[in-house]
Amino acid sequence: MSYARVRCVGLVGVTGHVVQVEADLAPGLPTVAITGLPDTALHEARDRVRAAVVNSGRVWPNRRITINLLPATLPKQGSGFDLAIAVAVLGSAGELPLAPLDQVVLLGELGLDGTVRPVRGALPMVAAVARTGHHRVIVPFGNATEAGMIPGVRIHAVRTLRQLADFLTDGIPLPDPPQAASASCTPTPDLADLAGQGLGRRALEVAAAGGHHLALLGPPGAGKSMLAERLPSVLPELPDDAAMEVTSLHSIAGLLPPEGQLIRRPPFQAPHHTATVSALIGGGTGLARPGAVSLAHRGVLLLDEAPEFNRNVLDALRQPLEHGRVRLARSRGTAEYPARIQLVLAANPCPCAKPSGDVSCDCTPLARRRYLGRLSGPLLDRVDIQVTVRPVRAAELTEEFAGGEPSAVVAARVATARAAAVERWSSLGRRSNAEMPGPVLRRPPWRLPGTDIRELRARLDRGSLSARGFDRVLRLAWTIADLDGRERPDAEDIREAIGLRTGEAL
């Protein structure tokens, strides 16, 4: 036999596609050609696979070898094809019987010594195996727990190419994959252990209920990042499809927690202000690594000390904020990852970062304006809520420490408010107040009575609020009404919304 075919999986974004790996041997000078849109990693695969085969005690055929990956139109990235290529070549040479691999999918990168190394993205790959009606997959031992998350697929785990070859030639059974560990309960930060912060808490609750982006201004030590990292704790758990998407992105990044369970909590990412564009939006060689903005998909992205981020890094957020996904340029084509995030910007009011009222701060009003001005334009424009938080006072610390409302209580109100918004807007194809276009809220049947929005109009006429700001106040007012169980926002809701929008809230 001089031809063989096995199955593997390639990823396009977070979606896996089954790929056929064909090997053909022909007489002639010993060469290896790989066709079917390979990237550079696949060219390297040629040398890696040959070494792995020889070091596993098998004979590499010294003939003209052609390896073809189908469908040719599918971009193929990464090193997960190694194992399939090695088996296809050995099969075509008659070195291994491939009958036991009928309908089996092979995943794995090979080390030069023949070890089978874990691949990034095993979870969405095995999901593709299940989706295409295949029921068995051979994965690297290090990916077995992750692969086991997909129901309906039988997982075999291998540590070495030799182990797989022994199974095929001598029927030595493959070891059972490791059992998934029981879920660890990593404690998530809870609002209960946050003292004071009345306004900050309220802003957080409104942001969570309406899906609004949030800006927290305040001096160092005011608790901005403590508030922000508690936002996921009041958001609803992820539904199945979102949990699968989020877990797949972490799998592709190689950052999956070892428990072998879907990520159900909305993720939280807080990249440092020295982060590069590719750390934020993704990139790298081979299979593109999702950046912080995709790892925060369906969760929260905090930019702490936001004005300190590089201008080009902040600009790179424009696309994901607008479209909910990032598009990364690759050597061939592009890779797209979802990136629907709730953004939290935290900033000191002043470039010297001294507490407010500190006498040693000699920043001019102009310097302060310029500092925050770095955020304006693409970013601050999209942020519905802007509030100033103050350091907790001693009185609050002693009084409220006992009575700090826990996240679960807030999360229940948030869930009710979100359900109200879904019911109201789903016929318009929207799911949250933050997604609502201004014109819809300004026209019947959603237009609010003139008496209720009198102050809002006056601010627009005075120029103390932009047209865009006007719409943002309306969105916030709907969220506040949803939280309080009112059918429509009233004048009081509008007033609170103005405060949350303009930072005048106290």
Contacting positions for Zn ion (CB under 5 A): 350, 352, 361, 363
Q: How far is the CB of 350 from Zn ion (least distance, A)?
A: 4
Quick one: which of 73, 81, 67 has its CA closest to 10?
81
Q: How far is CA 53 from CA 23, 60, 80, 82, 85, in A?
A: 15, 7, 16, 11, 10
Which residue is associated with the tokens 């972490």? 250
- CB of residue 347 vs Zn ion: minimum separation in angstroms? 13
Which residue, 371 or 470, has its beta carbon nearer to Zn ion? 371
**Taking the complex as a whole, how short is the minimal distance between the CB of residue 505 and Zn ion, in angstroms?**
23
Q: Is the dihedral of CA 210, 215, 220, 222 positive or negative?
A: negative
The smaller minimum CB distance to Zn ion, of residues 277 and 361, is found at 361
| CB-nearer residue toward Zn ion: 374 or 418 | 374
Comparing CB distances to Zn ion, the nearer of 359 and 506 is: 359
Cβ at position 270, least distance to Zn ion in Å: 24
Residue 12: phi and psi, rounded to 5, are: -120, 110
Tell me which residue of 199, 216, 71 sits closest to 132, measured CA to CA.
71
Question: How far apart, in whole angstroms, are the C-alpha atoms of residue 269 and residue 464?
Answer: 34
Residues in a beta bridge with 329: 334
Q: How far is the CB of 392 from Zn ion (least distance, A)?
A: 21
Q: Which is nearer to Zn ion, 224 or 472 (CB)?
A: 224
Helical H runs in 257-363? Answer: 277-281, 292-295, 311-315, 318-323
The whole-angstrom separation of Cα 216 and Cα 304 is 9
How far apart, in Å, are the Cα atoms of 125 and each of 194, 240, 433, 457? 41, 17, 35, 54
Minimum distance from CB of 220 to Zn ion (Å)?
11
Dmax over Cα atoms in the chain, in whole Å? 88
CA distance 503 to 388: 6
User: CA angle, corner 457, sides to 454 and 461, nearest 5?
Assistant: 135
Write down the least CB distance from residue 205 to Zn ion, Å. 31
Residue type, 276: T
Nearer to Zn ion, 74 or 361 (CB): 361
Looking at the chain, how many residues does it have?
506
Query: Shortest Cβ distance from residue 502 to Zn ion (Å)?
Result: 22
The pair of structure tokens assigned to 155 is: 């997982």
Three-class DSSP category at 192: helix
Task: Give the shortest CB-463-to-Zn ion separation in angstroms.
Answer: 28
Nearer to Zn ion, 33 or 352 (CB): 352
Closer by beta carbon to Zn ion, 54 or else 352: 352
Residue closer to Zn ion, measured from CB, 81 or 371:
371
**Among 115, 92, 101, CA closest to 171:** 101
- What residue ranges in 359-488 does DSSP mark as E strands? 385-388
Of the two residues 74 and 363, which places its CB atom closer to Zn ion in the complex?
363
Nearest distance, CB of residue 374 and Zn ion, angstroms = 15
Distance of CA 181 to the CA centre of its chain: 24
Question: 388 pairs with which residues across the strands?
Answer: 217
